[in-house]
Amino acid sequence: MPIINFIEQEDFEKAVDILEKNIPTRLIRKVLEADCGSHYIKNIERHHKMAHRELCELLVEERGVDLFVNRAEAKEEIIALKEQLLRRVASEDVVKELYANHPAQDRKLEAVGYMYKPLAGKRWVKGKGYAGDFVRAVGFPEIFAGMENSGQKAKKHYEDIMPRLPKIELKAYQKRMKNRMLANLNGESENRNCMVSLPTGGGKTRIAVEAFLEWMQRRFEEQKYLIWIAQSEELCEQCISCIQEIWSNKEFILPLRIYRYFSKYSPRPEDLQGGVIVCNIQKLHSQLKTDNREMVKKILSHTGAMIIDEAHRASTLMYDGLLELAADVTKGRMFPICGLSATPGRTKIEEEGKKLIGRFEANLIIPEFQGEDSIYRNHPLQYFKDRKYLSKTRHILYRSQNVYELTDQNLKEMEQDENAEYPNVFLKKIAEDSKNNQMILDRICEIEKGKPTLVYTCTVRQAKYFSLYMTHQGYRSAYVDSTTDESMRRRIIADFKRGDIQFLFNYGVLTTGFDAPKVEYIVLARPIRSEIMYEQIIGRGIRGVAFGGTELCTIIDFFDNSIIQGEPKSFERFREYWDMELDGENIS
């Protein structure tokens, strides 16, 4: 039986039937417009005015199991919808029972007529008591109570990883880089800092984990710490998974404790006994302003080494403060610091900025090509492609004829930061261009069915609209954004990796820490200014078959940035990636 947005066809039809019979067209349309924008809904209807039932179907397709969740953008409309269902579907006895179990906190009500509004406006917690009681009261399938986050095993603030066999082998180039890192760490020079540079997908995290776990093994026994600083929760979890896998496959005797020190996680002082602390700089920076400052100082004073992922970000004031504190508590005898950077084709660390030169330049570790591989010294990317570590790439550029103007203030703000992205108000203007949206959607619909496709949009609403449009066209699609709860995001991504979802739309969340090696298409439905972001995005799809990826990844790029008031063309900086470069308007 087909599944629509995690809902079985039978349950989908039942929900639509109830909405069709009890909710007026005007209210259904108001919810859709609040969620996605009236111009998007009008665009869906530009060739066909939808009947009442079709609008009900569209609503269930768009919201899925979160139909009754009071999202901020459509809170009043959803409350009105729930109130209407209670009035039209539930009997008075059912409403009284529902109110008895979930009364208003500020007053006691006896008359049924006064119960509908407070019941409809109650806080909705997915999968919990009120949500389940409400959907039963109005006759909806249980799935519409929502999937609760607590269904997953809660993560602890730390993990104890037990060692086991067998050993996992690195590739030849990875072994060479690991050995250079160990030689650097074990060297007599006082400067043991380094910068490891590899193309996205080349395995820099794996190499660093292998080298530093081996070097830190006896230091862990002395209750020393390896601090790993990542930029997002996804990257932190990805790092933890990598450490778990590697330590579990080593012939080490003792367990290793990994501490989560990001997002909602903080280690308790009584749990600290050496190991790996995985954190982000924002968390450390904020902790230094609280009562936990002394705990951070204690950790730094017992740190054996630090790894900074995405080291191009390590020139900020937050890093300055952290490293100055580390130098102070270690009395100038600093631990080794390793920076990781995805910078294919670069051989000079100067591009990482003046501050990074001082911290990492003396020990730049990049792939070395010897013997018959020496032909790749000036063409490192070709080595990774020929060995199928990276996929072949095809870049298709659609040159828009639209001119999107930035304000003088926009330009001034971007001049201050070369990696700053286009302002949200500017991206919103592009996202609301109906003609441009339809051009993008028409091209997406041409992608062969079954080809896993990641789409990056200008706004959250555009991601919702594109996903809704494709679902309405009969494709399996979904979207995620920063507000998508953890359990739903995990399920969507898992379904995407399995191939149950073909099109995954997102705004601002799947640039790093997202691992789906079978991606065959990446669609840039937004302009990208930052070279770093552009590289991170295309890195989601260029893993080769030797690392479980694909032979070919196609990048469809809808924005020639030269039309945006002379802004640089991000894609042009990555021409060394492209095996094929095509003009989207002239593909036969």
pLDDT at position 273 = 92
d(CA 98, CA 118): 11
Tell me if the bond preceding 336 is cis, omega within 30° of 0. no
Helix H or strand E encompassing 98? helix 92-101
Burial of 70 (0-12, 13-18, 19+ CB in 10 A): middle
pLDDT at position 92 = 93
The β-bridge partners of 478 are 504
- Written as one letter, the residue type at 258 is I
Q: Is there a common fold for 158-376 and 388-586?
A: yes
What pTM was computed for the model? 0.75
**Cβ contact 254:324 at 8 Å:** no
Q: What are the residues whose beta carbons fall under 8 Å from the beta carbon of 500, sequence distance 6 or more? A: 3, 476
Pair type for strands 194-197 and 337-341: parallel
According to the CATH classification, is domain 388-586 in 3.40.1360.10? Answer: no
pLDDT at position 435 = 86
pLDDT at position 137 = 95
How crowded is residue 577: how many other Cβ atoms within 10 Å of its Cβ? 24
pLDDT at position 588 = 40
How do the domains of the chain map onto residue ranges? 3-150, 158-376, 388-586
pLDDT at position 2 = 47
- Classify domain 158-376 at the CATH superfamily level: P-loop containing nucleotide triphosphate hydrolases (3.40.50.300)
| pLDDT per residue of the chain (588 residues) written in tens, 0 to 9 | 345 567 888 999 999 999 999 999 999 999 998 888 887 787 777 767 889 999 999 899 888 888 998 877 889 999 999 999 999 999 999 999 999 999 987 778 888 898 999 999 998 888 788 999 999 999 999 999 986 554 444 566 766 665 654 556 888 899 999 999 999 999 877 778 888 888 877 888 899 999 999 999 999 999 999 999 988 777 888 889 889 888 888 777 788 999 999 988 999 999 999 999 999 999 999 999 998 899 999 999 999 999 998 887 787 889 989 999 999 999 988 999 999 887 644 433 344 445 555 666 568 888 888 888 888 877 888 889 999 999 999 999 887 667 777 777 777 777 766 557 788 888 888 898 888 899 899 999 999 999 999 999 999 989 999 998 998 888 999 998 887 777 788 888 888 988 899 999 998 777 665 677 889 999 999 988 777 778 878 888 888 998 888 999 999 998 754 455 555 556 666 777 788 888 876 554
The β-bridge partners of 581 are 395
Interior CA angle at 14 toward 29 and 16, to 5°? Answer: 10
pLDDT at position 163 = 60
d(CA 89, CA 455): 40
Helix H or strand E encompassing 381? helix 380-386
What is the strand order of the sheet 337-341 is part of?
A: 158-161, 256-261, 275-280, 225-230, 303-308, 337-341, 194-197, 364-365
What are 100's two structure tokens?
């008895």
